Structure 1
Amino acid sequence: MKNKESHSKAPIYEALMEYKKARVVSFDVPGHKQGRGNAMLREFLGEQCLSVDVNSMKPLDNLCHPVSVIKEAEELAADAFGSKHAFLMVNGTSSSVQAMVMSVCKKGEKIIMPRNVHRSAINALVVSGAVPVYVNPGVNKELGIPLGMSVKDVERAIKENPDAKAVLVNNPTYYGICSNLKDITELAHKHGMYVLVDEAHGTHFYFGDNMPMSAMEAGADMAAISMHKTGGSLTQSSFLLLNCDLSVGYVRQVINLTQTTSGSYLLMSSLDLARRDLVLHGTETFKKVIEFAEYARDEINKIGGYYAFSEELIDGDTIYDFDRTKLSIFTRGIGLAGIEVYDILRDDYGIQIEFGDIANILAIISVGDKSLAIERLISSLSEIKRLYSKDKAGMFDHEYINPEVVLTPQDAFYSPKISVPMNESDKKICAEFVMCYPPGIPILAPGEKITKEILDYIDYAKEKGCFLTGTEDAKIENINIVSKSINN
């Protein structure tokens, strides 16, 4: 990395400040004209914010083809993350994941990936026509959560599919589980395959001390970095890191297939400023975050019934490492699904956590948290146990069901299909997604066989209050299946 002084620059932010000083009269978009056209919007977001919600112009560069300040911001970001190039992304990390896949896989080409990927990875397959080779992740049956990929399972998939173009790895998972990224990368490279890492929840790996290995350190070819999750930028802003021989220009062409031509300067400047802050202060920032998370974990485990898990799960294989900043808490021990605890925390205690599934909750801890807020979370969980705990008999005991893939996602999604009641879809081929959001990992994806076990899981998730999405039917009562001629 360059010396820290060079990272004190924030070229996009600085260009926006110069633009403001120039008092330019605007006859371009956006039409609110620095907020003058909408008083309520100006009052809500503030004049300072709206004054820099501007259009691309020569002094501010162009995200689709950067040549000046955006190009300089990308170079600083690449240096900060240790990659050959970094692209500023304003369509979310979903767009970054899709660009990774579409940069290395064409229609009909195979990509090896875990099935517990975010929907964005499978969306990339629907759009591109690439063919998934799923490696079922390990499963912790006590916690009911999917884990990382075993190196042996990846090796088996590579040997059975030597023509695959790439291996995609989730690292870390939503729960903080890390795979053996270095060995998987070396194995894939040995067989001429690219390694793509969905590192949406791992921004801090690059800036904190004693963190799990980052994708760039492991030698991966591309990584999607969700800066807004733990890096301090605005929601929907992201980086796509490139670290291989692919042409920067070609990858940008792929990005431009789906990313907006009207890149938000609010999002881009937030990436610029967040990168600056992480390089200058990231070590102390994440030291504090880990201290908060470790303290909360210890205190929650003293309550009893809950299990805030951490490094003790490491087994050198499907749990190769653990992200200690993640406060993942198993709740089934008090007889409540994670989503039930999630709802009680929000509705009764005014605490919004990241997500709840059928057995766990996740609280995101960041430098923006204060000791008092951590104490409030701990005491609220203690009181929830006292007031709401019940017998855990009859609770669903697993979060992940291995799917049976019958058709490629693209073939299934675009096939002739019919809508049937969910309870009449057993043994049919799914033609759309069903998932709880967050985290957005599909329970069913296009091309997968629907089974009674999966339908029971969906019913249970509904009963417990999970927010289900993905189906054309907004009520999630009907599901699109591939039409009868193909099903038979």
Structure 2
Amino acid sequence: MDVKRQRRAPILEALEEYKEMRIVPFDVPGHKRGKGNRELTEFLGEKCLTIDVNSMKPLDNLCHPISVIKEAEALAADAFGAKHAFLMVGGTTSAVQSMIMVACKRGDKIIMPRNVHKSAINALVVCGAVPVYVNPGINKEVGIPLGMSYEDVKKAILENPDAKAVMVNNPTYYGICSPLKAITELAHEHGMLVLADEAHGTHFYFNDNLPASAMSVGADMASVSMHKTGGSLTQSSLLLINNDVSKGYVRQIINLTQTTSASYLLMSSLDISRRNLALHGKEIFDNVIRMVEYARDEINKIGGYYAFGRELINGDTVFDFDVTKLSVHTREVGLAGIEVYDLLRDEYGIQIEFGDIGNILAIVSVGDNLLAIDRLVSSISEIKRLYAKEDITMMLDHEYIDPEVVMTPQDAFYAPKTSVPIKESCGAVSSEFVMCYPPGIPILAPGERITQDILDYIEYAKDKGCSLTGTQDIDIKNINIVTQL
């Protein structure tokens, strides 16, 4: 990485120069630098509205960058150790879908863990690729899906030698990492691309005490959520490419779905945040690691909770663990994770990332401090004191259910369908998703058989207050099922 070059922020610099030019706007957006919407200007600030501008010659164009955006992308590639980086303004959802659509066409196979984010399966609905799911390992103690076993990936590759790519979560929502380097080498031996969903792995690129990044082990593409742990604005992301992946073709695929009106607020936030991480990332994440390790130790002293960490590493399905993830198992205090999540928000004014059936996750990153960590730990302790339940026999004893895949996601999504009460759907094939969001990992995806275990899980999640999404019926009382297999 060229540290001297990384001090540049070309999009920011171009916007500052543009503001000094005092150009009279007769283009979009219609608020005309905030003058046409005073209420919005007062809420967001004049400084913000004056840089909410349209693509133009001095500011370049994200669809076909030739100047400042091109330079910003080159700097991002240098910072992340990639052949090229694309600024993404549709979130990591857009980046994940773009890399799948680069690797696969209709009918092509892609090997992926079943606990992928819904954006990956949505990409299959759009492009018609065929998933070969590798079921992740399971940790029954904390009830979470783990990473993919090397042997399971090898088996999938040998049984599907025509697959075009292997997709890997690096890490999962809970901080679990698969053996990415070994999987990458294996996939390449068989002529397959390796795609990494690094929505929660931005920080891997800037600290040697964290798991290996996708680019460092030779993966071909990676989608990176700069806004999650890197400090940029929500919805801003990066798509990284490596090896012989065609930069021009990737740009074409991105432009199929990405807006032609890219936000300069988002792009400048990527530019500024990349510079900050490139210059100060190591010390930033050294501090984050210290804070989370402190929180993990303090929470484990409370009793009843289990803030898990590197002790889960087994060299395979948990090849490594992201120690910046503050994942806490809650069932031993008789509370579902979603119940602790709700209590933290409603009673203590603390918003964590998510709570599921058995765990909570707090994201700690560039903007946190020890005072906030202490408040979180003390609130978790008080929740145990005030709300713990002795009877935990009714707690559901699993978090991940192996799916029975009957049809491809695209075929099921577009198949003739009918809506039935979800309680009466056992045995049918789903035409849509059901998921808790966050984290957005489907309980049920299009093309999968609906089983009683799945229905029990959905009902339990509803009872505990999980936010369920995915079906046409917003109340999740009915579900679309395939009527012609």
TM-score normalized by structure 1? 0.99
Pairwise CA distance, 1:209: 2.8
Q: Tell me, yes or no, if the aligned pair for 2:407 and 2:447 is still in contact at 8 Å.
A: yes
2:4 partner SS: helix
1:197 partner SS: strand
Q: Could you say which residue in structure 1 is the equivalent of 2:305?
A: 306
Pairwise CA distance, 1:210: 1.2
Q: Could you say which residue in structure 2 is the equivalent of 1:407?
A: 407
Matched, 1:422 2:422: yes
CA distance in 1, matches of 2:242, 2:294: 36
Q: Could you say which residue in structure 2 is the equivalent of 1:374?
A: 373
Q: Which amino acid aligns with 1:377?
A: L
CA distance in 2, matches of 1:451, 1:184: 32
Pairwise CA distance, 1:367: 2.6
Q: Tell me, yes or no, if the aligned pair for 1:96 and 1:224 is still in contact at 8 Å.
A: yes
Matched, 1:49 2:48: yes
Q: Tell me, yes or no, if the aligned pair for 1:209 and 1:287 is still in contact at 8 Å.
A: no
Q: Could you say which residue in structure 1 is the equivalent of 2:213?
A: 214
Q: Which amino acid aligns with 1:423?
A: K
Matched, 1:118 2:117: yes
Q: Could you say which residue in structure 1 is the equivalent of 2:332?
A: 333
**C-alpha offsets along residues 258-307 of structure 1, whole Å, 9 cap, x if unaligned?**
10010000000000000000011001000000010000000000000000
1:435 partner SS: strand
1:405 partner SS: coil
Q: Which amino acid aligns with 2:304?
A: G
Q: Which amino acid aligns with 1:306?
A: Y
- Percent identity of equivalent pairs: 75
Pairwise CA distance, 1:71: 0.2
Q: Could you say which residue in structure 2 is the equivalent of 1:30?
A: 29
Q: Give the count of matched residue pairs.
A: 484
CA distance in 2, matches of 1:75, 1:24: 28
2:419 partner SS: strand
1:182 partner SS: helix
Q: Could you say which residue in structure 2 is the equivalent of 1:275?
A: 274
Q: Tell me, yes or no, if the aligned pair for 2:118 and 2:441 is still in contact at 8 Å.
A: yes
Matched, 1:82 2:110: no
Q: Could you say which residue in structure 2 is the equivalent of 1:457?
A: 457
CA distance in 2, matches of 1:423, 1:262: 44
Q: Could you say which residue in structure 2 is the equivalent of 1:440?
A: 440
Pairwise CA distance, 1:398: 1.3
Pairwise CA distance, 1:207: 0.4
Q: Which amino acid aligns with 1:93?
A: T
Q: Tell me, yes or no, if the aligned pair for 1:142 and 1:397 is still in contact at 8 Å.
A: no
Pairwise CA distance, 1:88: 0.2
Q: Tell me, yes or no, if the aligned pair for 1:106 and 1:129 is still in contact at 8 Å.
A: yes
Q: Tell me, yes or no, if the aligned pair for 2:170 and 2:176 is still in contact at 8 Å.
A: yes
Q: Which amino acid aligns with 2:35?
A: R
Match runs of 1:244-283 below 5 Å: 244-283=243-282
Q: Tell me, yes or no, if the aligned pair for 1:472 and 1:479 is still in contact at 8 Å.
A: yes
Q: Could you say which residue in structure 1 is the equivalent of 2:190?
A: 191
Q: Which amino acid aligns with 1:331?
A: T
CA distance in 2, matches of 1:58, 1:101: 32
Q: Tell me, yes or no, if the aligned pair for 1:111 and 1:168 is still in contact at 8 Å.
A: yes
CA distance in 2, matches of 1:40, 1:171: 42
**C-alpha offsets along residues 449-475 of structure 1, whole Å, 9 cap, x if unaligned?**
000000000000000000000000011
CA distance in 1, matches of 2:360, 2:122: 26
Q: Which amino acid aligns with 2:77?
A: A
Pairwise CA distance, 1:368: 1.2
Match runs of 1:52-131 below 5 Å: 52-131=51-130
Q: Which amino acid aligns with 1:18?
A: E
Q: Tell me, yes or no, if the aligned pair for 1:167 and 1:188 is still in contact at 8 Å.
A: yes
TM-score normalized by structure 2? 0.99
**Comparing 351-360 and 371-380, the one that deviates more:** 371-380
Pairwise CA distance, 1:246: 2.1
Aligned-residue Cα RMSD (Å) equals 0.6
Residue ranges of structure 1 left out of the alignment (5+ in a row): none
Q: Which amino acid aligns with 2:138?
A: V
Deviation >2 Å, runs of 4+:
none
Pairwise CA distance, 1:369: 1.3
Q: Which amino acid aligns with 2:446?
A: P
Q: Which amino acid aligns with 1:140?
A: N
Q: Tell me, yes or no, if the aligned pair for 2:230 and 2:366 is still in contact at 8 Å.
A: no
CA distance in 1, matches of 2:324, 2:397: 25
CA distance in 1, matches of 2:212, 2:319: 10
CA distance in 1, matches of 2:392, 2:106: 47
Q: Tell me, yes or no, if the aligned pair for 1:166 and 1:193 is still in contact at 8 Å.
A: yes
Q: Which amino acid aligns with 1:30?
A: P
1:239 partner SS: strand
CA distance in 2, matches of 1:441, 1:416: 25
